[in-house]
Amino acid sequence: MRLLTVPNWSFGRSPRLLRCFAEVLEAAPVAVHYLRGDIDHNRTVSAFSGEPEAVADALIGLADYAMESIDLSRHVGVHPRIGALDVLPFVPSGPEDLQEALAFAESFGKTLAERYDIPVFLYERSEKGRHEADLPSLRHGGFGSLLERNLNPDFGPARAHPRLGATITGVRDPLIALNVDLRHPVASTARTIAAEIRERRTEGDPTFLGVRALGMTLPSREMSQVSLNVTLPDLTPLDPIVEWIERRALSMGVASAGAELVGVIPARHLEHATRVPFAPEQVV
């Protein structure tokens, strides 16, 4: 089985830690698809694939560096998060590998909980009925809210780690993450657009089926951003989403600064993703 993982880490302002990550992945027998930190999000997204044992070894190598360095009690960034290793999805290469991937994700979640003394929640396909299955619900309220209550994780303690929070992991279907940047330093336009996308999704607009959207400020770039997760990419092509956002922003007097692919994109979706630049290694 070949397994893709796209771990999201709560750091984006440490060149030293990012170099450590690059060294771990360069030495590992995995294909590296993406590794990039963002100052404003204060978040690093990585994506790599390989045989399960190689993926597990690389993840532990990365997590050992991250868990030693990250302190969420002092963390400032625009992206929602509840953990140092905030979300750790696994995507099998095909439906025939689903059961093996589910077993792997559960085993690795238990390893994370025991190794770092953190609560670990299983989500999406791995969730077993103990709690919500979707990422926004599990991350609701953020790290601060997590510290104030008893938890019901699948593995690990019932209280969040005071520095590392909790981790969400499991098998999910392929999704596409992208950002559309706007040439406006205040997030009001981006947040209005994101709210309209969520409303249209709820109403069944086919352009936005399965689209999650947030509006954010990017202080270091004096811009703002509509951050998107397209969870049903087989039904929801990317180009109409980007085009709609650019038209809607322009109607409010704000120009687009272009789109950015975060992580990976399945090759079968490239035909309808002409407005989203990508590097060859991001295609899986």
Q: What is the pLDDT of residues 188-214, one digit of tens each?
A: 999 999 999 999 999 999 999 999 999
- Separation CA 15–CA 107 (nearest Å): 31
Place of tokens 């938890």: 151
Q: Which of 33, 41, 75, 79 is catalytic?
A: 79
Domains of the chain: 3-171 (3.30.990.10), 176-282 (3.30.70.670)
Mean pLDDT of the 22-48 span: 98
Mean pLDDT of the 255-281 span: 97
Mean pLDDT of the 115-132 span: 97
Q: What is the pLDDT of residues 9-24, one digit of tens each?
A: 999 999 999 999 999 9
**pLDDT for 279:** 97
DSSP characters for the chain?
--EEE--EES--S-HHHHHHHHHHHHHSSSEEEEEEEETTTTEEEEEEEE-HHHHHHHHHHHHHHHHHH--GGG---SS--SBSEEEEEEEESSGGGHHHHHHHHHHHHHHHHHHHT--EEE-GGG--SSS--SHHHHTTTHHHHHHTS----SBS-SS-BTTTB-EEEEE----EEEEEEES-SSTHHHHHHHHHHHHHHHHT-GGGTTEEEEEEEEGGGTEEEEEEEES-TTTS-HHHHHHHHHHHHHHTT--EEEEEEES-B-GGGGGG-TTS---GGGB-
Catalytic residue flag (residue 131): no
- What is the rounded average pLDDT for all residues in the chain? 97
pTM for the structure as a whole: 0.96
Q: What is the pLDDT of residues 151-186, one digit of tens each?
A: 999 999 999 999 999 999 999 999 999 999 999 999
Give residues with Cβ within 8 angstroms of 146, minimum separation 6.
82, 160, 165, 166
